Structure 1
Amino acid sequence: MDVPSMSTQAWIRSLKSSISDEWRQWLVNDQVAGYTRTYSNNLTYASVKGAGHTAAEYKPEECFAMIKRWLSYEPL
């Protein structure tokens, strides 16, 4: 993991929200696309497996699936 990811997780911890759904994988085409964790304040942290700094450049299909599900109020 790189610094922005770790900093984001540290910021989320500073909110002191409890975890409502522990780390789990999310899938695209029956393949692991990344991992997600949900918090009690309705915040979801999601990662894209194998993506670089600009995830949409490296993993466009996974990023499209993520944003499509978010806009449709579907879980990852």
Structure 2
Amino acid sequence: MVVCTTVQGTVPSWLRCDVNLPYTHEITSAVDDHAALITRGYRAMIYSGDHDPKVSYVDTQAWIRRLKLPITDPWRPWHVDDQIVGYTRTFSNNLTYATVKGAGHTAPEYMPRECLAMIDRWLSGEPL
């Protein structure tokens, strides 16, 4: 189990991002990159906050379907302290997909305890 501690920070305020970044290359899809990695046998987990207005879990599931992977473990709830905190399914080629209930685009920011449990279990090779 992972134990986290907090340390008083020294940054007076945090800016999430600079919208004036001069992008010269825009990636419109990462589906081919994911396909290349999972066909090489790498484990992967993709997760979505179910309240994410930027990249909805419905859209994420749509591009996962484009990978055409058989489902090895169908939709089921996953729990923390006997509470349903999301839903998960597993695909062949070691791909796990999970939703996090109540989380937005940056799921660990909204639901840190649940996301810590999710990643801890996944890294340990345990089912969510």
Q: Same fold (TM over 0.5)?
A: yes
Question: Structure 2, unaligned stretches of length 5 or more?
Answer: 1-49
Alpha carbons 2:54, 2:105 under 8 Å: kept: no
- Matched to 2:86, the amino acid is G
Runs of 4+ in structure 1 displaced over 6 angstroms?
Answer: none
Residue 25 of structure 1, CA deviation: 0.3
1:47 to 79, 83, 99: 99
2:65 alignment partner in structure 1 = 13
For residues 37-76 of structure 1, the aligned pairs below 5 Å read 37-76=89-128
Any idea what SS the aligned residue of 1:47 has?
strand
Question: Structure 1, unaligned stretches of length 5 or more?
Answer: none
> Could you say which structure has the greater relative contact order, defined with CA pairs below 8 angstroms and 6 or more residues apart?
2
Question: Structure 1 residues 3, 57: closer, same or farther in 2, change over 3 A?
Answer: closer
- Larger helix fraction of residues: 1
Residue 6 of structure 1, CA deviation: 2.4
1:36 to 77, 84, 88: 88
Aligned length: 76
Q: Note the aligned Cα RMSD (angstroms).
A: 1.4
Alpha carbons 2:89, 2:96 under 8 Å: kept: yes
Query: How much identity, in percent, do the aligned residues show?
Result: 67
Any idea what SS the aligned residue of 1:53 has?
coil
